[in-house]
C-alpha cells in the first residue's frame, strides 16, 4: 500500500516537473511556439487562421534549437518580428532534413504568408520547399541556403570567407617556421566550407606548417582529447583554428592543463568566446581571436526582407551576404562589447 | 608453455590490448612517451566511470541507454550551481560536483528503476525516455547556451594535476585519473566482495531462482539503476570540470562507448556474468585506439570504421575462446 502511494506521488512530481519544464523552455516567440517533437506537432493554440486582423504570419525553421548560434538567430527573428508586427511561428529543425520537411508541410497547411528556413541539407529539404513555393507560399532561406528559383532571398554568412579570415588570423599570430592546426567537423556543410577557406590560404604559403586537422564531432570533450594528443607530439604548436566555439572551449582546456603557450582562434562569436577574449589575465592569454558570424544580423536581415517582400513585393537582393568579422581584445574595447 | 597458451586463451582481451599497444608504439614515436600515456589515462576516465556503472546494469540482464544524457544534465547542473559561487575553493567545487552527480544521478536512476520495476516498462524504452528527457532538461536549464565563466578551481577535478616536476610545472598525475581509480576500485569491491554484489549476479543469472531464494529482485534492480545513473552523472561532472564549462550538447552517444567497452571486456548482454575489472580492459582498448589514431592522423571517418571493426573482432575472438572452453 505504502509502495503504491509512493509511486503515485512520484508520478505527480514528474508531471509537475514536466509542466514546469514546458513553462521555461527556449526563447518565447511572439506567440506560444509549437513544442518541438520528432512527430510533426500540432499547430499551436493560436491558429493563424483566427487572425482576422490580417496580421502577417511567417513560419521560421531554425537549423536546431540545440545550437547557440541558431538560438541567437531565433532571438533576433523574434525581436524583429515584434517590431514589424509579424506573427512569427518558430520551429526547431533538429538538424534533420526530414523534420524540416514535415514542418514545411505543416506551415503550408496552416496557410502562412511566408516560410523562412536554415536548410539542414539542401538536397533533402529541397522538394518540400519546391512544393511550398508551388502552392503559392514565398520561401526564404537564412544561414544555409538552397540553390533554386523557389527561393526569393537568402541571407547568410560566407563560411569559406570565414575560414580564410581564420587562416589570416592564424598566420598573423604564428611565428615563421612554427605550426598551426585546425579542429573542424566534416559532417556539417558550413563547417566544411570554413575548412576549405582555411586550407586554401594555409596551403598557399610556406612560412608555417599545417600538420594536424581533427574532427571534434561537435563535442567539446573530443576537441580537448585531440588537442592533448597534438600537444604531446608538438608541444610548441603555435595556433589552433577552431571552426566552432565548443571546439575552442575544449582546445583551451587542454592547452591550459598542459601549460602550453598555444593560441586559439575560435569561430561563431558566441558569448563565451567574447568573455574569454575579454579576460586578458585569464583565458584571454590563449583565446585571442574569434571569427564572428553575426547571427543577430542574419536573423534581423531575413525578417526584414520577408516583411519587405510581403508588403512591397520585392527584396533588396536575391543574395544578401552577412560578412564575418574578426573579434579581438582591441575590437571588444573599441566597441564596448 | 601449456600454461601460457591457456592463460592467453582465457585472457584474449588482454592479449589484444598488448598487441594494439605494441603496434602503436612501433607506428608512432610519441605513443609510448610518459606524457601521452598519462593523457590517455585522463581521456579514459569518463568512459571508465560510465562503463563501471553500466556493468552493474548489464550483469542484472538490463540495459541503460540514458547514460550520455544523464551525464550531460548532471554536468550542466554542476556548472549552473558552480556559477553561483565565483570564489569557490577546490574543496567546495569538488563538493558541488560530487553533490550534483549524486542528486541528479540519484533522481534519474530512481526514475529509471521505478519505471522498470514498478511500472514494468521494458528497460530499453524506460531509459530511452530518460535519454530524451534528461537531454531536454540540460537544454531547459541553460536555454541552449553553454554555462561559462566558472572559477578556475572548478576545473581542478577534471584538468588539475599533482606532483609537479622540473619539466612539468603543473604536475604529472591527473586528479581525474586518481579519482576514477578510487571510484572504480570501490565499485569493483562492491560487486565482488559484498552481499549486494552477489545478489546482482544472482538476479542476472536467473531471476526466478533469485526470487525464490529470498532476494528482493525489484530492490536489487532499482539500486543498480540508481548506481548506474550516479556513475554516469559523475562522468558528466568530470566532463564539465575538464572543460571548465557546462556544454548542453556534451556526452552525446557516450552510452554506446560504455556498452561497447563492457562487452569488449567479456560481459555478456544476457546477464549473470561480467566484471568491472574486465570492462576496464575494454575502456583501455577504445581509448588507446582513439589516441593512437589521433597521433597517426588517421582521418576521423576511418577512425569510426576501424573502432567498429575492432570491437567486433575482439568480441568474436572472445566468443570463440568461450565456446572452446564449453
Q: Are B109 and B210 in contact (CB under 8 A)?
A: no
pLDDT tens figures, B28-74: 999 999 889 999 999 999 999 999 999 999 999 999 999 999 999 99
> Given CB atoms, is B301 within the 8 Å cutoff of chain A?
yes
Mean pLDDT for the stretch of residues B267-290: 92
- Cα separation, A158 vs B89, in Å, equals 44
Question: Do B247 and A259 count as a contact with CB atoms less than 8 A apart?
Answer: no
At B270, is the pLDDT very low, low, confident or very high (cuts 50, 70, 90)?
A: confident
Q: What is the pLDDT of residue B145?
A: 85
Closest chain A C-alpha to B1 CA, distance in angstroms: 39
Instruction: Identify the three-state secondary structure at position B246.
Output: strand
Residue count of chain B, please give it: 326
On chain B, the residues whose CB falls within 8 A of the CB of A270 are 145-146
Q: Which one-letter DSSP state was computed for residue A90?
A: E
> Taking the CB of residue A233, how many other CB atoms lie within 10 A of it?
20
- Cα separation, B216 vs B213, in Å, equals 9
Q: In what helix (H) or strand (E) does residue B45 lie, and over which residues does it extend?
A: helix B34-59
Give Dmax over CA atoms of chain B in angstroms.
Answer: 63
Q: What is the pLDDT of residue A298?
A: 95
In sequence order, the 6+-apart residues with CB closer than 8 A to the CB of B269 are B58, B63, B263
Q: Evaluate if residue B227 carries a pLDDT over 50.
A: yes
Whole-prediction pTM value? Answer: 0.85
> Given CB atoms, is A25 within the 8 Å cutoff of chain B?
yes
Q: What is the pLDDT of residue A311?
A: 94
Instruction: Identify the three-state secondary structure at position A319.
Output: strand
Q: What is the pLDDT of residue B11?
A: 76
Q: What is the pLDDT of residue A103?
A: 95
**CA dihedral of A259, B237, B33, A236, whole degrees rounded to 10:** -30
Cα B221 versus chain centre, distance: 19
Closest chain B C-alpha to A135 CA, distance in angstroms: 34
Question: Do B159 and A272 count as a contact with CB atoms less than 8 A apart?
Answer: no
Q: What is the pLDDT of residue A95?
A: 85
Distance spanning both ends of chain A, measured CA to CA: 60
What does the block give as the cell for A143? Answer: 544561414
Q: Evaluate if residue B218 carries a pLDDT over 70.
A: yes
Q: Which of A166, A195, A194 is nearest to A326 (CA)?
A: A166
> Given CB atoms, is A179 within the 8 Å cutoff of chain B?
no
Question: Do B252 and A226 count as a contact with CB atoms less than 8 A apart?
Answer: no
On chain B, the residues whose CB falls within 8 A of the CB of A27 are 143
Question: Do A26 and B143 count as a contact with CB atoms less than 8 A apart?
Answer: yes
Instruction: Identify the three-state secondary structure at position B181.
Output: helix
Q: What is the pLDDT of residue A192?
A: 93
pLDDT tens figures, A12-44: 555 545 444 443 333 333 343 344 433 333 334
Mean pLDDT for the stretch of residues B228-256: 95
Burial B62-96 (b: 16+ CB within 10 A, else e): bbbbbbbbbbbbbbbbbbbbbbeeeebebebbbeb
Q: What is the pLDDT of residue B326?
A: 65
Mean pLDDT for the stretch of residues B262-291: 91
- Cα separation, B57 vs A167, in Å, equals 48
A:241-270 residues touching chain B, CB 8 A cutoff: 245-246, 249-250, 253, 256-259, 270
In sequence order, the 6+-apart residues with CB closer than 8 A to the CB of A273 are A245, A248, A266, A287, A290, A292, A327
Please count the CA atoms within 13 angstroms of the CA of B282 that sit on its side-chain side. 34
Q: Which of A69, A71, A75, A60 is nearest to A324 (CA)?
A: A69
In sequence order, the 6+-apart residues with CB closer than 8 A to the CB of A108 are A115, A131, A132, A135, A137
Q: Which of A242, A335, A223, A251 is nearest to A289 (CA)?
A: A242
In sequence order, the 6+-apart residues with CB closer than 8 A to the CB of B99 are none
Closest chain B C-alpha to A171 CA, distance in angstroms: 22
Closest chain A C-alpha to B47 CA, distance in angstroms: 12
- Nearest residue of chain A to residue B132 (CA atoms): A37
In a mutational test of the A interface, the residue from B104, B148, B150, B240 whose CB has the highest number of chain A CBs within 10 Å is: B148
Q: Which one-letter DSSP state was computed for residue B147?
A: B
Angle between helix B90-117 and B123-142 (nearest 10): 140
Burial class from Cβ neighbours inside 10 Å (0-12, 13-18, 19+) for residue A53 reads exposed
What does the block give as the cell for B47? Answer: 568512459
Residue B171, phi-psi category: left (phi > 0), alpha (psi -120 to 50), beta (remainder): left
- Cα separation, B253 vs B243, in Å, equals 18
Cα B155 versus chain centre, distance: 20
The percentage of residues in chain B with a pLDDT greater than 90, rounded to a whole number, is 76
On chain A, the residues whose CB falls within 8 A of the CB of B245 are 220, 249, 253, 272
Mean pLDDT for the stretch of residues B81-100: 93
At B7, is the pLDDT very low, low, confident or very high (cuts 50, 70, 90)?
A: confident
Question: Do B144 and A26 count as a contact with CB atoms less than 8 A apart?
Answer: yes
Q: In what helix (H) or strand (E) does residue A253 lie, and over which residues does it extend?
A: helix A245-258
Phi, psi of A114 (to 5 degrees): -160, 160
pLDDT, averaged across chain B: 92
Closest chain B C-alpha to A26 CA, distance in angstroms: 5
Q: Are A264 and A252 in contact (CB under 8 A)?
A: yes
> Given CB atoms, is A85 within the 8 Å cutoff of chain B?
no
Q: Residue written as cell 531536454?
A: B136
Q: What is the pLDDT of residue B1?
A: 61
Segments in chain A below pLDDT 50: 1, 16, 18-52
Closest chain B C-alpha to A4 CA, distance in angstroms: 9
Across-strand partners of A326? Answer: A291
Give Dmax over CA atoms of chain A in angstroms.
Answer: 78
Please count the CA atoms within 13 angstroms of the CA of B132 that sit on its side-chain side. 9
Q: Evaluate if residue B302 carries a pLDDT over 70.
A: yes
- Cα separation, A31 vs B113, in Å, equals 38
- Cα separation, A248 vs B208, in Å, equals 53
Q: What is the pLDDT of residue B215?
A: 96
Q: What is the pLDDT of residue B311?
A: 80
Amino acid at each position: 500500500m505504502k509502495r503504491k502511494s509512493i509511486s503515485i506521488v512520484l508520478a505527480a512530481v514528474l508531471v509537475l516537473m514536466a509542466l514546469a519544464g514546458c513553462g521555461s523552455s527556449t526563447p518565447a516567440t511572439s506567440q506560444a511556439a509549437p513544442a518541438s517533437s520528432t512527430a510533426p506537432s500540432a499547430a499551436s493554440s493560436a491558429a493563424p487562421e483566427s487572425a482576422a486582423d490580417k496580421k502577417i504570419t511567417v513560419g521560421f525553421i531554425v537549423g536546431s534549437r540545440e545550437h547557440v548560434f541558431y538560438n541567437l538567430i531565433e532571438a533576433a527573428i523574434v525581436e524583429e518580428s515584434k517590431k514589424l508586427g509579424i506573427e512569427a511561428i518558430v520551429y526547431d529543425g533538429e538538424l534533420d532534413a526530414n523534420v524540416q520537411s514535415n514542418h514545411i508541410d505543416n506551415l503550408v497547411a496552416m496557410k502562412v504568408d511566408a516560410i523562412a528556413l536554415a536548410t539542414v541539407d539542401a538536397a533533402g529539404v529541397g522538394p518540400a520547399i519546391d512544393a511550398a513555393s508551388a502552392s503559392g507560399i514565398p520561401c526564404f532561406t537564412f544561414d544555409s541556403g538552397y540553390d533554386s528559383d523557389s527561393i526569393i532571398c537568402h541571407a547568410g554568412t560566407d563560411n569559406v570567407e570565414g575560414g580564410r579570415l581564420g587562416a589570416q588570423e592564424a598566420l598573423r599570430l604564428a611565428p615563421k617556421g612554427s605550426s598551426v592546426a585546425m579542429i573542424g567537423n566534416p559532417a556539417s556543410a558550413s563547417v566544411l566550407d570554413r575548412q576549405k577557406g582555411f586550407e586554401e590560404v594555409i596551403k598557399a604559403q610556406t612560412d608555417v606548417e599545417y600538420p594536424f586537422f581533427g574532427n571534434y564531432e561537435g563535442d567539446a570533450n573530443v576537441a580537448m582529447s585531440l588537442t592533448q594528443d597534438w600537444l604531446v607530439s608538438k608541444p610548441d604548436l603555435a595556433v589552433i583554428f577552431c571552426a566552432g566555439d565548443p571546439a575552442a572551449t575544449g582546445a583551451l582546456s587542454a592547452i591550459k592543463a598542459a601549460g602550453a603557450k598555444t593560441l586559439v582562434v575560435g569561430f561563431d562569436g558566441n558569448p563565451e568566446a567574447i568573455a574569454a577574449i575579454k579576460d586578458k589575465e585569464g583565458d584571454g592569454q590563449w583565446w585571442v581571436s574569434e571569427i564572428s558570424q553575426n547571427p543577430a544580423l542574419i536573423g534581423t536581415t531575413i525578417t526584414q526582407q520577408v516583411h519587405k517582400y510581403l508588403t512591397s513585393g520585392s527584396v533588396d537582393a536575391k543574395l544578401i551576404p552577412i560578412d564575418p568579422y574578426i573579434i579581438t581584445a582591441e575590437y571588444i574595447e573599441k566597441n564596448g562589447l | 608453455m601449456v600454461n601460457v597458451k591457456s592463460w592467453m586463451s582465457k585472457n584474449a582481451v588482454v592479449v589484444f590490448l598488448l598487441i594494439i599497444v605494441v603496434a602503436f608504439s612501433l607506428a608512432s614515436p610519441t605513443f609510448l612517451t610518459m606524457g601521452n600515456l598519462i593523457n590517455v589515462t585522463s581521456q579514459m576516465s569518463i568512459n571508465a566511470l560510465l562503463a563501471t556503472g553500466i556493468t552493474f546494469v548489464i550483469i542484472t540482464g538490463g540495459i541503460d541507454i540514458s547514460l550520455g544524457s544523464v551525464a550531460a544534465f548532471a554536468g550542466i547542473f554542476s556548472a549552473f550551481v558552480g556559477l553561483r559561487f565565483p570564489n569557490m575553493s577546490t574543496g567546495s567545487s569538488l563538493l558541488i560536483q560530487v553533490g550534483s552527480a549524486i542528486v541528479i544521478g540519484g533522481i534519474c536512476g530512481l526514475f529509471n528503476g521505478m519505471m522498470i520495476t514498478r511500472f514494468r516498462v521494458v528497460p530499453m524504452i524506460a531509459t530511452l525516455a530518460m535519454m530524451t528527457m534528461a537531454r531536454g532538461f540540460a537544454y531547459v536549464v541553460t536555454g541552449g547556451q553553454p554555462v561559462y565563466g566558472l572559477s578556475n578551481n572548478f576545473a581542478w577535478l577534471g584538468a588539475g594535476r599533482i606532483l609537479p616536476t622540473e619539466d612539468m610545472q603543473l604536475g604529472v598525475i591527473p586528479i581525474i585519473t586518481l579519482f576514477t581509480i578510487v571510484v572504480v576500485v570501490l565499485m569493483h569491491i562492491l560487486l565482488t566482495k559484498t552481499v549486494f554484489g552477489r545478489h546482482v549476479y544472482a538476479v542476472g543469472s536467473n531471476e526466478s531462482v533469485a526470487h525464490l531464494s529470498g532476494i528482493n529482485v525489484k530492490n536489487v534492480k532499482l539500486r543498480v539503476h540508481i548506481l548506474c545513473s550516479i556513475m554516469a552523472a559523475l562522468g558528466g561532472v568530470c566532463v564539465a570540470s575538464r572543460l571548465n564549462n557546462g556544454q548542453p550538447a556534451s556526452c552525446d552517444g557516450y552510452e554506446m562507448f560504455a556498452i561497447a567497452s563492457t562487452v569488449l571486456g567479456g560481459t555478456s548482454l544476457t546477464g549473470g556474468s561480467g566484471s568491472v575489472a574486465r570492462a576496464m580492459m575494454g575502456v583501455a582498448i577504445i581509448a588507446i585506439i582513439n589516441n593512437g589514431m589521433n597521433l597517426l592522423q588517421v582521418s576521423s571517418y576511418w577512425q569510426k570504421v576501424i573502432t567498429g571493426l575492432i570491437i567486433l573482432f575482439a568480441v568474436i575472438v572472445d566468443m570463440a575462446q568461450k565456446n572452446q572452453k564449453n
